[in-house]
Structure 1
């Protein structure tokens, strides 16, 4: 008797442990999702963007340091020539020594950062070395630039002497070192405050961009070295030539290959450079699409969600989702499923509005950056080319033709400062214009494409429904204050809402692979039959979701589809215990009870589970993953838990009734006029029954 009692107590304890473990896993998973949504969005720039910028611009600054070291800083201008064709003046030894030490510090910083990113050097050791080395390199170059700008270094008369391109490359290198070192300080501060791990979690595309940037810079300098030798150019003039050649600007002027060897080498050099530039552009674009858009979209969705929730007017029973758009919103007299569907449709509209705002905000930011690059660049070229008498309009013209890689060659720069600045300016234009073009593809180009197709459907190329049907749909889309939906989604009837679930499950019944379920049914074990059927449905839907996860653009599911999938993972939309409680209104207080968009609306009295709302922070539509990926993760997790239950020694867990069964579907097939809701309830146990079984 004692053994039986002990065995029973052991089984109950094991059951409690399994139940609590499952509940804790669900809670930890929900908490992790919320933390992943909120915290990395705020600290993504410090944790990822800062080291990425440093790792990308660090090699560029190293290249500028090399350019500042390999040539003299002063030049004598003979009568009748300009500073671009002057005679070099020897530098003092202390300048060469300090310049060399600065380059060594910079190389140490880059090597330390790369080793840390490759996890060959710890964060605690690598970051102090990287930051201190870059700051030292910057300060040494700043000292040199400051001294070189005074009369102590400049040779008199100053009208007959000038500073070379090497001096200006030193200025740019010092500025870049200081900026990227400061960015790494921000990264270290965020890591020490615990906002992200003390390591760099760079994606393969981010690492690829860094390696491609390093490769392109090395390729540029080596090509300049070869052509300076072959064509007899100064090395920094060859760097200037290699830059506008590889970026396909083709300014021309006096720097063009004239020897047979130089022209022959141009074929492989240009092809290789264009390929490398294309790879860099592709990496930048994929990087923006991969991480930047996801994080920006998350912040815009959250901001829009909060505004929409605050706009609820219970007196007028409306909710505002846009400046000119209101949607009917009332919880009075609605069933649980209808209330949930109402929230779902509002959240879907929030998604659409937030994504549109994100696209046009990104376009505005990238357009502003491109405009500043153009306008500020023109100011620099105008001041640098004063000996040629360039006006601001001429500088704008030159900058524009260079940015667009038109390169007429009717205006060419000749000053040392303009040549050095042009190299940095044109390299900076690569990511700026790449991001701009990407954002234009999401907005202006897309709108123009849609407009072209729409006009064609109204004129020369009408679709299958004809011109009248197309025009009617267009009018509906232009109506303000109404939420347009296709006819098959607008005001779905209860029959069509439930038919989605019935049709899906009926397809599984007809499949020949339900042998185990049929065999269990022959032995009269209906629970085992339903469990096998439930497992089969999960496996089948997981396979379908795997295909949906690869669709571009990401697939969005209707509320009926979401209701079906949520039922499969045990989150029945008709089960109010897992949902936000409806508002309670009275005359004294307009609002009472849980918040409409709260992260959780409290806990159920009989279960340690968080409730959630479609308009809450834990809504599946608020995550950083696509809807198919979200569902795929949940269904996979559910199938794993079901397999675990089958192996469990606890009989109650093994025989727990699944959320879907075959009995109701067979009844549905045998009766043509029965109510779908009633038939479904015969074979589909709700979360209420399962909760009673656990309690």
Structure 2
């Protein structure tokens, strides 16, 4: 028997559910490390190439101070720290490209970054003492290089700690000892490295051309490439203005590529993993809420629906499970969207408020209030860049570079999540209002109002009215769907050969050829559905038809499992998952973990894979030397059309030729009439 559950065994399915819990350690941690590691390297370079102390002449500020030579020991330790960090970063990249094994690369990466962090922390601690800064304190200050070292030490410590989480999860067996990074994730890392190198090289060129301090040029390059445009630094030489054309264009393109990669990454992996986790949590919660006395199941906080097997056929019971699972999908997806929006909104607000707090503290010599800092952080975060307020302190400029690099991915994530929730709701509301006023739908104003009120009542945008009688006519509707689809295939010229075989009385051979033809045509249709956005969801009757094609009959209770939901869970016990029974014949439930609606694939992908596997198996049967295997009756028959309305299923081998021809001609006439209409 074909098992229409998840492709992997039950143990593998459980591992996939568990892997969703460990997604942060297996995927997010190395991705963050691979992205922010190069940024920390860039900050280390900034901390190494410039002196750490400045003398402030009378009437000047620290931004225009005179550099004081650093001790040689500070330069040496700073260089060693950078060397450790570069080796660690190189080991990580080699591991991600499979040039270095996990067991060798990870100790090098973790130890290297920790050593880089501890050395910089030691230097920063010494540099913060009054002895290093030289008396009098009012006439001396720390340069931007010192603050770049502070940020770099923190980044090294964070990314190395994240990699420890990755290693722990791998050695505990939650995932393989390898990075589960997709091409888009690797691309994001390479794009980040390229952008950092581009920024530093551009700063070096413009510092030479314009006579700026190198770290001031880094600040200017950051403001320029991220299109903030504060205006406190701008090229004044003819050479600098000429070089700005290619530099700004190339940098903005690179920023766009990074933003695009972040967005695709969120859509590709983050949503998928988060959605799988929300769906599984919601499914387990709903399955445990069946009320035998009231014959209901609680799908939402204020949503209960009827759930009883009394008086239902097997197909009706299965359709009932299917509809509950669809509601679980919808509510889990809505929860995921708004949870993601809440997280990204909170993170963005923290970035704004905490950033303003740092700017307020660093720019106290300018007399900034916290409100002024919030104002500056706001128009900088949105890249408006009025320029009426700009940071002039060494700490403020350094933090601004780091802060804006965080703002780009954060705002990208926020806008993406808003597009799935707030913006989509506003768009739907606008279209609905338009349909009531200047853009009435084809069905008229009354129908539009009725649909709108129904959506508000249901609390979602699901307009599938399939089975308004709650599944009481499931068998008839499913049979009608199957027969209609088969009738559409009969009109094809390629079936003439199958009809000719039937004319000679070999109805089984005719049905086998017809079955192969239907499989090929349905695979072609599913190939079109695979690329649709959003992913297509099929009705229960369509699922019933497709499952019949792969050898599963929704009317056959022997291949199905009833989730043990009729008894309340004891405290601390796990809910029944509806997974496959032990043994060769695997049984499943629409509400179980083996349900096709629970997989990581889209419904079209799942069905396409199954139909292709079924067609391959049929081709193998034709090449088999076993006559009984080659002559095994298919799950559908052309004679199903003849028996339309009688609820017949299975292969018919005694259908008279004249009756079959008449049914085929009727199918041709129906299709022709539909086309004429």
CA gap 1:54/1:553 in 2 versus in 1, 3 angstroms = same
Matched, 1:60 2:39: yes
Quote the residue 2:620 is aligned against: 644
The correspondence for 2:647, drawn from 677, 681, 686, is 677
What is the CA-CA distance between 1:583 and the residue it aligns to?
6.5
Q: Distance in 1 between matches of 2:82 and 2:226?
A: 26
Q: Distance in 1 between matches of 2:611 and 2:81?
A: 56
Q: Distance in 2 between matches of 1:597 and 1:616?
A: 8
CA contact (8 A) 2:288 2:565 kept: no
Q: Distance in 1 between matches of 2:152 and 2:575?
A: 53
CA contact (8 A) 2:288 2:575 kept: no
Q: Distance in 1 between matches of 2:435 and 2:348?
A: 35
- Structure 2 unaligned runs (5+)? 655-677
What are the residue-to-residue correspondences of 1:268-307 with 2, within 5 Å? 268-307=246-285
Quote the residue 1:4 is aligned against: none
What is the CA-CA distance between 1:85 and the residue it aligns to?
0.5
CA contact (8 A) 1:324 1:480 kept: no
Matched, 1:121 2:100: yes
CA contact (8 A) 1:313 1:319 kept: yes
The correspondence for 1:412, drawn from 390, 393, 415, is 390
Matched, 1:472 2:453: no
Q: Distance in 1 between matches of 2:230 and 2:435?
A: 44
CA contact (8 A) 1:578 1:610 kept: yes
Quote the residue 2:609 is aligned against: 633
Quote the residue 1:387 is aligned against: 365
Quote the residue 2:415 is aligned against: 437
What is the CA-CA distance between 1:649 and the residue it aligns to?
2.6
Q: Distance in 2 between matches of 1:320 and 1:653?
A: 47
What are the residue-to-residue correspondences of 1:225-240 with 2, within 5 Å? 225-240=204-219
Secondary structure, aligned partner of 1:660: coil
Q: Distance in 2 between matches of 1:31 and 1:591?
A: 22
Matched, 1:98 2:77: yes
Q: Distance in 2 between matches of 1:590 and 1:431?
A: 45
Residues 509-518 or 437-446, more deviating? 509-518
Ranges of 4+ aligned residues in structure 1 off by more than 6 Å: 25-28, 481-484, 582-585, 589-592
Residues 91-100 or 308-317, more deviating? 308-317
What is the CA-CA distance between 1:647 and the residue it aligns to?
2.1
TM-score by structure 2 length? 0.92
Q: Distance in 2 between matches of 1:215 and 1:80?
A: 41
- Structure 1 unaligned runs (5+)? 1-18, 669-674, 686-695
Instruction: Tell which has more relative contact order, 1 or 2 (C-alpha 8 A, sep 6+).
Output: 2
What are the residue-to-residue correspondences of 1:433-582 with 2, within 5 Å? 433-479=411-457, 485-491=463-469, 493=473, 494-581=475-562
Q: Distance in 2 between matches of 1:356 and 1:119?
A: 38
Secondary structure, aligned partner of 2:22: helix
CA distances 1:566-589 after superposition (whole Å, capped 9, x unpaired): 11111211111111137697xxx7
Q: Distance in 2 between matches of 1:42 and 1:516?
A: 54
CA gap 1:202/1:453 in 2 versus in 1, 3 angstroms = same
CA distances 1:196-237 after superposition (whole Å, capped 9, x unpaired): 222223111101101110110011001111111111100000
CA distances 1:110-137 after superposition (whole Å, capped 9, x unpaired): 1111111111111121111111111111
CA gap 1:32/1:216 in 2 versus in 1, 3 angstroms = farther
CA contact (8 A) 2:289 2:568 kept: no
Quote the residue 1:136 is aligned against: 115
CA contact (8 A) 2:633 2:651 kept: no
What is the CA-CA distance between 1:241 and the residue it aligns to?
0.5
What are the residue-to-residue correspondences of 1:245-324 with 2, within 5 Å? 245-253=224-232, 255-324=233-302
Quote the residue 1:372 is aligned against: 350
What is the CA-CA distance between 1:497 and the residue it aligns to?
2.9
CA contact (8 A) 2:6 2:599 kept: no
Quote the residue 1:50 is aligned against: 29
Quote the residue 2:310 is aligned against: 332
CA gap 1:55/1:596 in 2 versus in 1, 3 angstroms = closer
TM-score by structure 1 length? 0.90
Quote the residue 1:351 is aligned against: 329
Q: Distance in 2 between matches of 1:580 and 1:664?
A: 27
Quote the residue 2:667 is aligned against: none
The correspondence for 1:602, drawn from 553, 575, 581, is 581
CA contact (8 A) 1:47 1:200 kept: yes
CA gap 1:298/1:485 in 2 versus in 1, 3 angstroms = same
Matched, 1:195 2:174: yes
Quote the residue 1:3 is aligned against: none
Q: Distance in 2 between matches of 1:44 and 1:314?
A: 37
CA distances 1:515-574 after superposition (whole Å, capped 9, x unpaired): 443343244332222222211111111111111000011000000000000111112111
Q: Give the number of equivalent residue pairs.
A: 649
Q: Distance in 1 between matches of 2:542 and 2:254?
A: 45
Q: Distance in 2 between matches of 1:654 and 1:88?
A: 88
CA distances 1:631-669 after superposition (whole Å, capped 9, x unpaired): 11111111122222222233322221111112222444x
Secondary structure, aligned partner of 1:29: coil
Secondary structure, aligned partner of 1:326: strand
